[in-house]
Chains A and B, each alone.
Chain A
Amino acid sequence: MRALFDEHARPLLGYVIRLTGDRQRAEDIVQETLLRAWRHPEALAGRPARPWLFTVARNLVRDGHRARLARPREIGDEALAVLPADDDLDRAVESWAVAEALADLRPEHREVLIETYYRGRSVKQAADVLGIPQGTVKSRTYYALRALRLALEERGLAP
C-alpha cells in the first residue's frame, strides 16, 4: 500500500481535485481508489496502473455527482468493470504526467518556464520579474526544457 501511495497518490489527488474542486472529497476518493487497487492486484497486473486508477477515481466522482442529483445510488464494484480508457482519460493521464514532470523540475527551472511559457513573458520581462540576468533566463529555459524532456521520457512520454 505504501508503494501504491508513493507512486500514485499525488497524481491521483491532483486529478481528482481538478475534477471535484473539493479537497476533502478528493482525499476520500483517492483513499477508496487506492484501496480498490490494493484489494484487486490482479486488475493492475500486466497493464499500466495509471489509466486504471484514473478510471476508478473518475467513476467514483461521477457516482458521487449522480448521487448528488438525489437519484437512488447504484452501488457495486462496477468501477472495476469499466476499464477501456477513453480518449478523455488518456488525455488526463498524459496531461497529468506532464504536470508532474513540471512540478518535479528544480524550482529555478520551473519558474522560468512558468514565466516565459505560461505567463507569456519575454526573456527581458522574465529577467525583470525574477531579478536575474537575461542570459540566465535563456540558459535556464534551455536546461529546463532538456530536463523536462528527460523527465517525460522517464514517464514513457517521449515527445
Chain B
Amino acid sequence: MIDCSAVRTALGAHVLGALDPGERARVEEHLAECRACAAELAVLAPLPGLLAKVTERDVEQAAVQPPAHLLDRLLAEVARERRRQRARLGVVAAAAAAAVAAAVAAFAGLAPREARTPPVAITSPAPVTPAPVPTRPPTPAPSGAPAPVVSAGAADGRVAASVEMRPRANGTDLVVRLRGVPRGTRCSLVAVSRDDGREYTSSWFVDYYGPARYTGMTSFPRDQIKAFEIVTADGRTLLRIPA
C-alpha cells in the first residue's frame, strides 16, 4: 500500500513520466481511489504541456542577464534625447518669460510706486539669447504643435525623404526620415540657406537595419532655410527637398 504523502511527492515525477513502471502503477492505483490526490494531479497535469513549448536551450538563454553596457547605452541615449527636448522647451520658456517680463513692466508702469515688485526671476533651462527680431511671427511652435515638415521624392521614385524643422535657440533642429537609399551608402543632409550658404547638418551610414530616422542641427534659422539636399560621400546629390 502507498499513502497520500508518498503519492503527492511522486506526482511531479509522475506527470513528467519519470517514475519507474512499478511505482507508476502503485501511484495510478491510489489516484483511482483518492479524490484529494486526483485533485492534486489535476493541478500539475497541465504543466508538461507548457514545458513542451520551450527547449532546454531556451531556458539557458532566458537565464542570461542582459549586459550592463546595454543599459548604459540606453540611458545615455535617453539623456541625449532629453537634452534635445529641454533645449526645444527652453525656447518656448524663454518666449514665455519674455511675455511675463513685458506684462510686469507694463503693470509696473501703471501701478503706484509702492505696488511695484521686482520682475519675477524665471530661470530658463536654456540660455536666453536675444533673438533677432523675426521678420515673420514667432517661429517657436508651442510644444505639442506639429513642427513644419518638408518632403520630396526623387524622379526615379526610389529615394524619398522628409525633414522636420524645429526652431531652437541658435538654429534649427532637424529630424530626417529617409527611404530607398541602398544599404552601405554614407549620406549627409545639407541645409541650403536663402543666400546659398551650405551647411552639413548630419551624416550617417545606412546600415543593415539602422535607425529609421536621423537627427541633425543647422545654425540656419528656420525661415532662412531654402532647401535640403541628401548627398552621398562621393558628392552625388540623391535628392533635393525645397523648404
Contact = CB atoms under 8 A, between A and B. Distances in A.
Contact of A103 (B11, B12, B63): B63
Contact of A10 (B8, B50, B66, B78): B66
Given A72-B181, A122-B20, A117 B71 contact: no
A83 interface: no
A72 B48 CA distance: 45
A159 B53 CA distance: 12
A149 B44 contact: yes
B194 interface: no
Interface in B58-95: 58-67, 70-71, 73-75, 77-78, 81
A75 B179 contact: yes
B219 to A, nearest CB: 26
Interface residues of A, number: 71
Given A14-B58, A72-B181, A159 B64 contact: no
Interface string B193-236: 00000000000001011111100000000000000000000000
B26 interface: no
| Majority DSSP secondary structure for residues of A touching B | helix
A10 B65 contact: yes
Interface string B162-186: 0000000000000001111111000
Interface string B11-31: 111011011100000000000
Given A64-B209, A110-B59, A117-B51, 10 more contacts: A2-B71, A64-B208, A73-B182, A75-B206, A96-B58, A114-B59, A118-B55, A142-B13, A146-B43, A148-B50
Interface of A: 1-2, 5, 9-11, 13-14, 17-18, 27-32, 34-35, 38-39, 60-61, 63-64, 67-68, 70, 72-78, 91, 94-96, 98-100, 102-103, 110, 113-114, 116-119, 121-124, 126, 135, 137-146, 148-149, 152, 157, 159
14 contacts: A9-B71, A10-B62, A14-B64, A31-B74, A32-B209, A73-B179, A78-B212, A103-B60, A110-B59, A138-B10, A138-B13, A141-B12, A145-B44, A152-B50
Q: Which 7 A-B pairs have the closest CB atoms?
A: A142-B12, A141-B12, A159-B46, A64-B209, A99-B62, A103-B63, A103-B62
